[in-house]
Amino acid sequence: MIMLWKFSLLMKWLKFFSALLATVGIFYALNSKFGQIPPLGKFLSPHQGFWQNDVSEDLLIQDVQLPGLGSKVEISFDEHLIPHVYATTNEDLYRAQGYLTAQARLWQMEFQTYAAAGRLSEVVGSSALNYDREQRRKGMLWAAENTMAFMMQDEEIATYVKAYTAGVNAYINSLTMGQYPVEYKLLDYAPEEWTPLKTALLLMYMTDMLAGGDNDLEFSNLVNEMGKTQFDFLFPDFFDAIDPVIPKERDWSSWEVEVPEVPEGAYPVDPKTGFMTKPHPDNGSNNWAVGPEKSVSGNPILANDPHLGLNLPSIWYVMHLETPEKNTFGATLPGALGVISGFNEFISWGVTNATRDVKDWYQIQFDDDKSHYWHDDQWKPTTLRIEEIKVKVEETFYDSIYFTHHGPVSYDESFKGNGGHSTGYAMQWIGHEANNNQRTFIELNAAQNYDDYVAALSHYTAPAQNFVFSSTEGDVALWIQGKFPNKWEGQGKFYLDGSNPEHDWQGFIPQEHNAHVKNPERGFVSSANQHPVDEQYPYYVFNDGYDMTRSRVINDFFRSKEQFDIEDFKALHNNNYNLLAAELVPVFLRELNTDGLSAEALDVLELVKNWDFNNDMDVEGATIFQLWWPKVRNAIYDEIEAMESHVRYPFTYRTYELLRDYPDHELMDIQETEKIETATDLINAAFLDTVEEVVELRSQGRSLAWVDFKSTYVGHLLQGLPAFSRFNIPIGGNGGIVNATSKNHGPSWRMIVEMSDPPRAYGVYPGGQSGNPGSKYFDDLIDIWAKGDYLSLDLTRRSDESPAHIKQTLSPQQ
Amino acid sequence: MKKTSLNFALTLLLGLFLSFFLPWWSGMLAALIVGAIVRLRKAAAFVVPFSAIALLWLVNAYWLSSANDFILAEKITVLLQIENNLFLLFLVTGLIGGLSAGFAGLLGNQINQLFFTKTE
């Protein structure tokens, strides 16, 4: 009996432990993230997982108490979820902006600051470590810290930034785990507190995107490889055909200008390989405005469309922000205060990127322990900053970055350096300057006239922008605003000698000498990332990859007739004219030998010949051109492709000039062959290859219609996660076209404002107001945008009178 | 049979109640507690809590998602590479909830046997 009893007890314990093990095991398995697979228990649970996010804002938005408010803030959301916000004071307004932005876009606004700060490894693991190191070694976090400290010294701005921060945090603290945005659940992490540093980081994110490019090291390598004469021939500072932002008629002769002298002595010449990621070369924009004489109604009209990567959630969040003192409407950046591109009752403004060479590289000579670097004939101390990069489920990575007076030594033996222990490359970048750019936007939001606009711009350092302006007073203007180093001729085009004090930045262009134009005789202002000025501008400017197509199409459009209205503006936003093709195709056809072409080839040729050079959706000619032209370009630059050091091709317009004017240039030769080729050979060979490719595509049943070939998509911010992205968007255009929509890049916000009283305005962007992939407002604007339509942006809408789609009241805490 | 129904109903109700305060494993906890109180025999010790929580998860998920035209659920099928198979997504959701509760129910049952049931 006793034996049996003992045996049965043993069995019970055994069973108990098996059940315990199974339960713990399944808990662990369902609570943990394995590779890309989210923790399935958490993720699929209906009260904690994604099912909670399968909801649209109609059912979600409710009245809340927002601690710190002075008085009630009323919000009326329209049918596309654009919030019309009515607050009593600025402080209440920005607190509400923080709360509402977080309510709409929490995951995105935090993720972008992680990206800026080089903290993605914390969230996605070691696959992002290289990216994070790049961000830190660019000085992103360091500079954001400096900017935050500087910005918070401005008491008024500090008050607003703190209110915004508190607003975001009030929203975060109100969330249960089940209410976290779905991306947190996918990656299995939680939102952390918002801080003023994150606002500074978001602004750095934009600076990096828009002013983070340069070609210094590539240009130096090219000079090494091909000699200065050939380089200068391939990379002229200006083209004859430029139509600069500031009209050529502008006379600068009244300015007293001092430009530093070109120093004696040589540039460093060691070839550099291995580079950090660069911003997308198409990051750019269009803006323009016509004055009263050129406007059908007699009111100035202004338009803006910034071209950025097409992402979901969109980079922009549209808001109408009103207090008794100001009434502002437009596109905001989640994470930053106020409206960035928009209008109020008196003025409207828009931005395009004003590319200039504001990032320079200095070769640094260290001593043995990197505690000093050689400068001005003496050893000067470096500053060591150890960056802590947390890595999900792995050990924290510590990166030692040495700083010189130029800036951080981004490249050294521990990171993409190739000069051994004692050599590094330091970056001097305008993005590193502590700044109060946030004040510019706060002031612009309330500006009432040209003088207010100019005063607002004076705080602004980077990323340099072409700020287009128009007012109900009838002014139109454009300031190219940023803080620009005053360089000696040639300074910073190639990398510089970090030990030579004459290679240092010698000062800045005075604010009042930043190129600008007000009410020009031609009656309109415009910018499209082209040359800011022509050679007459007294400060040093060189071709930094400026636009040569959109700018000319836009300016030709405004020269084509006397007066314009809003419909003309809409048509120009959606203009698909491919000027590059219109200039290149005649050269191609001139050189093409049609004797003995096959029927298929003749058929392909007809498609190009009959094309009107508009990249409209259904045309096949645009596709043929897009296949043909890169083949010609690549054949020309086979010599450059073969170079060992990191280099780049000449800019597109120069390539066109080469084909047009120098068909026998030595670069036309294909090195591999015995024969000495000319442009004629390259164009013909490329055409035959194109025909072959077309035949192949057709045999696969692929459509050659431009829209299908291009297949534009808007990708989710998280590595374009297909589940949350939109594909095959029906829209024409391409990079270099006014409708700059390429595969995954294009007009990220389109706005048109007529300065009537009150202003009449239209806007749209390829996304939706909600950041929740489960919301019907997540991507509801994409189709409107693709069609070339707009939403009406009504500045006179009041909380009490208009029918609100959804209402929300934020009340002070009782 | 009576015990089966009682366990089922209690697990379901307690699971629902706990889900208002606790994370995803509230169903496991409910199954464990109810399993320790209402003893079941053999396979029923697993199947009953499995069914209760699977049903709870299924109904809850359907109720949330159907009110929103299954917008996110459709996207999650793409994410989990079960392209547009909503039925399968619901099935997996129920299965995950059920499995977790089933094992916890077994454990509850063992606790009952070990500590609360007198040996014959």
Residue A167 has pLDDT above 50, yes or no: yes
At what angle are helices A679-699 and A579-591 packed, to 10 degrees?
110
User: How confident is the model at residue A418, as a pLDDT?
Assistant: 76
- Which one-letter DSSP state was computed for residue A523? S
Please indicate whether, in this complex, the C-beta atoms of B71 and A775 are within 8 angstroms of each other.
yes
Nearest to A315 by CA among A789, A793, A767: A767
Give A183-237 pLDDT, tens digit per residue.
Answer: 999 999 999 999 999 999 999 999 999 988 889 989 999 999 999 999 999 999 9
User: How confident is the model at residue A1, as a pLDDT?
Assistant: 54
At what angle are helices A90-117 and A155-173 packed, to 10 degrees?
80
**CA distance linking residue A303 with residue A753, whole number of Å:** 6
Nearest to A327 by CA among A793, A770, A801: A793
Residue B119 has pLDDT above 60, yes or no: no
Give A576-607 pLDDT, tens digit per residue.
Answer: 999 999 999 999 999 999 999 999 999 999 99
Contact predicate A152/A439, CB 8 Å: no
- Which one-letter DSSP state was computed for residue A528? S
**CA distance linking residue B75 with residue A179, whole number of Å:** 18
Separation in Å, CA of A411 to nearest CA in chain B = 38
**CA distance linking residue A500 with residue B1, whole number of Å:** 92
Best to test chain A binding among B18, B64, B74, B92 (most A CBs inside 10 Å): B64
> Which neighbouring-strand residues pair with B43?
none
User: How confident is the model at residue A283, as a pLDDT?
Assistant: 86
Instruction: Name the token pair of A655.
Output: 């390539």
- Reported confidence tier of residue B33, pLDDT bands at 50, 70, 90: very high
A343 phi, psi to nearest 5 deg? -160, 160
Selecting from A9, A41, A778 the residue whose C-beta is nearest the C-beta of B96 gives A41
The pLDDT of A150-156, averaged and rounded, is 97
What length does chain A have? 814
Q: Percent of chain A scored above 90 by pLDDT?
A: 89
The SS3 assignment for A14 reads: helix
User: How confident is the model at residue B120, as a pLDDT?
Assistant: 43
The pLDDT of A537-546, averaged and rounded, is 93
Instruction: Name the token pair of A348.
Output: 């409207």
Please give the torsion angle defined by the CA atoms of residues B50, B52, B56 and B58, in that order, rounded to the nearest 10 degrees: 50
Please indicate whether, in this complex, the C-beta atoms of A41 and B25 are within 8 angstroms of each other.
yes
The per-residue pLDDT of chain A, averaged, comes to 94
Amino acid (1-letter code) at residue A712: T
Among chain A residues, CA nearest to B80: A37
With a CB cutoff of 8 Å and minimum separation 6, the contacts of A661 are none
Please give the torsion angle defined by the CA atoms of residues A413, A414, A415 and A421, in that order, rounded to the nearest 10 degrees: -10
The pLDDT of A79-88, averaged and rounded, is 96
Please indicate whether, in this complex, the C-beta atoms of B114 and A12 are within 8 angstroms of each other.
yes
What length does chain B have? 120
Please indicate whether, in this complex, the C-beta atoms of B114 and A13 are within 8 angstroms of each other.
yes
CA distances (Å), B81 to each of A55, A175, A313, in order?
22, 29, 22
Separation in Å, CA of B22 to nearest CA in chain A = 9
User: How confident is the model at residue A799, as a pLDDT?
Assistant: 59
Q: Is pTM beyond 0.90 here? A: yes
**CA distance linking residue A27 with residue A21, whole number of Å:** 10
| Residues of B whose CB is below 8 A from A720 | none
- Which one-letter DSSP state was computed for residue A295? B
User: How confident is the model at residue A593, as a pLDDT?
Assistant: 94
Neighbour order of strands in the sheet with A409-411: A409-411, A423-429, A359-365, A496-497
The pLDDT of A763-782, averaged and rounded, is 97
- Counted across chains A and B, CB pairs separated by less than 8 A come out at 124
With a CB cutoff of 8 Å and minimum separation 6, the contacts of A278 are A212, A213
Separation in Å, CA of A526 to nearest CA in chain B = 42
ipTM score of complex:
0.96
**CA distance linking residue A336 with residue A359, whole number of Å:** 24
- Reported confidence tier of residue A493, pLDDT bands at 50, 70, 90: very high
**CA distance linking residue A212 with residue A359, whole number of Å:** 7
Choice among A336-340, A763-767, B115-119 with the minimum mean pLDDT: B115-119
